[in-house]
């Protein structure tokens, strides 16, 4: 993984770290306006949960269960953060 734009854009490498296989672009805003469309932390966590659940069906292990639970906890925390921002009327802005 290589940081292209801190907090927003990353080059993803193959499993051996020898080749760039894609770019991960997060939503980037300035003054409340989208300057680069992209994904969110929540979407990435959902992808990881799905992948690990798939792997857990193939080769179950305690570590997969622990990882899934930890990711679900992180997702819940981020969703709570978003709900709080909505309640305060700052969701979609640069105000935290």
Query: For residue range 17-70, what is the model confidence (pLDDT) as tens digits?
Result: 999 999 999 999 888 889 999 999 999 999 999 999 999 999 999 999 999 999
| Residue 49 structural domain | 40-85
Q: Is residue 32 part of a domain?
A: yes
Is residue 81 located within the same domain as residue 45?
yes
Q: Is residue 90 part of a domain?
A: no
Is residue 9 located within the same domain as residue 26?
yes
pLDDT, position 59:
97
Is residue 78 located within the same domain as residue 50?
yes
Q: Is residue 96 part of a domain?
A: no
Of residues 16 and 95, which shows the higher confidence score? Answer: 16
Is residue 4 located within the same domain as residue 31?
yes
For residue 96, pLDDT over 80 is answered with no
DSSP 34-85: EEE--B-HHHHHHHHHHHHHHHHHHS--HHHHHHHHHHHHHHHHHHHHHHHH
């Amino acid at each position: 993984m290589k940081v292209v734009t801190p907090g927003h854009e990353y080059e993803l490498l193959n499993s051996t770290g020898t080749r760039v296989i894609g770019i991960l672009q997060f939503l980037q805003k300035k003054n409340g306006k989208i300057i680069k469309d992209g994904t969110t932390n929540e979407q990435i966590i959902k992808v990881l949960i799905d992948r690990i659940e798939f792997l857990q069906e193939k080769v179950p292990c305690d570590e997969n269960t622990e990882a899934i639970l930890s990711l679900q906890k992180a997702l819940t925390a981020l969703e709570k953060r978003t709900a709080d921002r909505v309640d305060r009327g700052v969701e979609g802005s640069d105000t935290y």
